[in-house]
Amino acid sequence: MEKNAPLPDIPDLLYPTADKREALNRRRIELSDKFPCTYLNDLMTDTLASMICRRNPQNVQKLFREMCTDTDVINYRLDALEDVINNPKLSPALHNAAKRLLETEEKNRGGNGSPDSFTALGDRIEMLDSYIACMEELDRLSEELGKCIRSEAFVSFFEIIKGRCDSEDFAQMKRDITELKDAFSKKIRSVTVAINFNAEMRPVSAGIVNFSDKPAGEKPNVFDRLFYKTSAFSDTVVSGKLRSGLPNEDGYLSEADKALFDALEKLTSSYMRRLESALKAYDRLSFSRLSMLSDQLEIYDGIAKIADSCTARGLKMCRPEFTDKPRTAEIINLFDPCFYFKAAAADSEAKGDELVVRNSLSMDENGRFFVLTGANNGGKTTFVRGVGLCFLMAQTGFYVPAESCKISLCDFIFTHFPKEEETGINASRFTTEIKDIRIISDLITENSLLLMNESIQSTTPKECAEIASELVRIFCIIGVRGIFATHITELAAACESISADPDCRSVPVSIVAAVDENSGKRLYRIDRGMPMKQSYARDIFDSFGISIERVRKRAQRS
């Protein structure tokens, strides 16, 4: 490395290389421009982002928009996350260091140029001293954690810290600051000027003979000092008005005064030379991406805290694994993290399945597209959202809400979740729905994930069943993985004929949100099977206290 050249900057904790970062930045822009990114709203990613990163949730959303398919980037992030999880000292120490280093940088920017007073000089010395102490603390932390740090991101970070601490710039800056601190502790506040007189008491020469760290005072009468040898006044007392290094009211600075202040400048110039040397070294050692470090650490902290919270409540999050076997997924004990936080807030004591019922899902040659039916309020939407978030979090490089997760990457998550108020027979709504699905069918590939929730509900029941069946056939021919949560029970019956289609590349399977058939209690388990004979909508109707008998009695009273 060239002598006195700037050293490497803080590594990016989210991207292993600048090229990878730029590639994902281009991908994020391209997806936003060309694809329907409805998954961001349908999967409630804003809620999840806020849970991860309360201060800057937009930083998490930015990652969710990448839909990363680069396993190098994904595993780079997962390794860094595990260092944060496994080393509790790591993140707090780095947050503290980033804060102190940012404060140092702010003070440096605010003090550009040479200090104009000993106070300003002291501030700059304190700034550099704080930087040195912070860097040395980080170097000691690296030694303490040692081989416990395994991720490329944090190994690179501490290598850069060590490289800076071992550099000649750092050593020179430490020497300069040590000298400055020593000299500053004895700073000049006054000087003693000796004046030589001739026999007629006229001054013939003068010069600085001493300096002091105490300011000189003033004495009211010149004769007290000149003629009374018994005077008790201190040597630092000034007789008469002090001379100024500035021009007088006529704009004139006498040659004698100029000479005096030139002599004084020589006493203090060594301070400035050492400070300028230290500042030059600091400029070569300073970081340019400190705020990025804090923001990225906050993301890892958020995921780690969510994982800890889930563990405390009997639920497990795990590191996802990725397989080259195409269009597959094996997810055990999956749950929806958004629903988990809502349930945990409502019940502070419940744990495990008492808090959130978990489900498993396999996508392979025995079933890649699932038609999900079941009772109202039976957990269908929560399950679909949980699957989508599991894929999204895995491909973002986060732990996932499951006990184990092994998936092949999807190139995009397509969602179609009509709003509740938009369901029911409505011609214009139906037209919009079909347009939306047409866009999906044009863009979707065999490597995509498709999640549909109560789609095709805006025309007659017979037409809904026919159109929905045809759409499932289309998506199974394309070969996508997907789930279609619906009340169209006829769709489940069509799975057998669709799977018999010679062009079918994703076997459709019927799954059901289970209900206790005797009590109608929702069990929130998702199992393979055919739809129930009823949707148990009646118990919801009855739960609101609507009955003919009540209305009759009220009519009779009136």
Distances (CA, A) of 196 to 160, 191, 216, 276, 365: 60, 16, 20, 38, 107
Higher pLDDT, 482 or 230: 482
Q: Phi first, then psi: what are they for 546, rounded to 5°?
A: -95, 120
pLDDT level of residue 291 (50, 70, 90 thresholds): confident
Taking the CA atoms of 319, 325, 329 and 331 in sequence, report the sign of the dihedral they define. negative
Higher pLDDT, 114 or 243: 114
pLDDT level of residue 236 (50, 70, 90 thresholds): very low
Higher pLDDT, 373 or 540: 373
What residues have CB less than 8 Å from 554, skipping those under 6 apart?
none
Beta strand pairing call for 359-363 and 329-334: antiparallel
Task: For residue 14, give the nearest of 507, 514, 396 by alpha carbon.
Answer: 396
Average per-residue pLDDT for the chain: 85
Helix 90-110 and helix 290-312: axis angle, to 10°? 160
Q: Which residue(s) pair with 400 in the sheet?
A: 318
Q: Residue 56 gets which letter from DSSP?
A: -
Please report the pLDDT score of residue 253 as a whole number: 46
pLDDT level of residue 240 (50, 70, 90 thresholds): very low
Please report the pLDDT score of residue 206 as a whole number: 64
Q: Phi first, then psi: what are they for 79, rounded to 5°?
A: -65, -45
Q: How far is 433 from 418, CA to CA, in rounded Å?
A: 8
Please report the pLDDT score of residue 248 as a whole number: 52
Q: How far is 455 from 40, CA to CA, in rounded Å?
A: 17
Residue 294 pLDDT > 50, yes or no? yes
Residue 140 pLDDT > 90, yes or no? yes
pLDDT level of residue 315 (50, 70, 90 thresholds): very high
Mean pLDDT of 287-303: 93
Q: Is the pTM of this model over 0.85?
A: no
Please report the pLDDT score of residue 51 as a whole number: 96
Give the H/E segment covering residue 369. Answer: strand 369-374
Residue 516 pLDDT > 50, yes or no? yes
Please report the pLDDT score of residue 337 as a whole number: 97
Please report the pLDDT score of residue 459 as a whole number: 80
Query: Each residue of 184-211: pLDDT tens digit?
Result: 666 556 667 677 777 877 776 666 666 6
SS3 481: strand
Residue 484 pLDDT > 70, yes or no? yes
Mean pLDDT of 119-129: 81
Higher pLDDT, 547 or 8: 8
Please report the pLDDT score of residue 322 as a whole number: 98
What residues have CB less than 8 Å from 397, skipping those under 6 apart?
14, 63, 68, 73, 74, 75, 76, 77, 78, 81
Domain boundaries, the chain: 1-190+208-246+254-300, 313-543
Q: Does domain 313-543 have CATH number 3.40.50.300?
A: yes
Query: Each residue of 349-392: pLDDT tens digit?
Result: 999 999 999 999 999 999 999 999 998 889 999 999 999 999 99
Please report the pLDDT score of residue 96 as a whole number: 94
How buried is 14 (Cβ within 10 angstroms: 0-12 exposed, 13-18 middle, 19+ buried)?
buried
How buried is 101 (Cβ within 10 angstroms: 0-12 exposed, 13-18 middle, 19+ buried)?
buried
Q: Per mean pLDDT, which range of 28-42, 136-150, 456-470 is the poorest?
A: 456-470
Mean pLDDT of 157-177: 93
DSSP secondary structure string for all residues of 90-143: HHHHHHHHHHHHHHHHHHHHHT-S--SSHHHHHHHHHHHHHHHHHHHHHHHHHH
SS3 200: coil
Mean pLDDT of 261-289: 74
- Beta-carbon count within 10 A of 535 CB: 18
Distances (CA, A) of 25 to 31, 67, 334, 411: 10, 11, 30, 16
Please report the pLDDT score of residue 118 as a whole number: 59
Please report the pLDDT score of residue 132 as a whole number: 95
Please report the pLDDT score of residue 231 as a whole number: 46
Q: What angle do CA 39, 45, 49 make, to 5 degrees?
A: 155
What residues have CB less than 8 Å from 2, skipping those under 6 apart?
none
Higher pLDDT, 410 or 4: 410
Distances (CA, A) of 378 to 77, 270, 315, 450, 522: 35, 79, 20, 21, 5
- Contact in structure between 363 and 327 (CB atoms under 8 Å): yes
Please report the pLDDT score of residue 254 as a whole number: 53
Q: How far is 71 from 396, CA to CA, in rounded Å?
A: 10
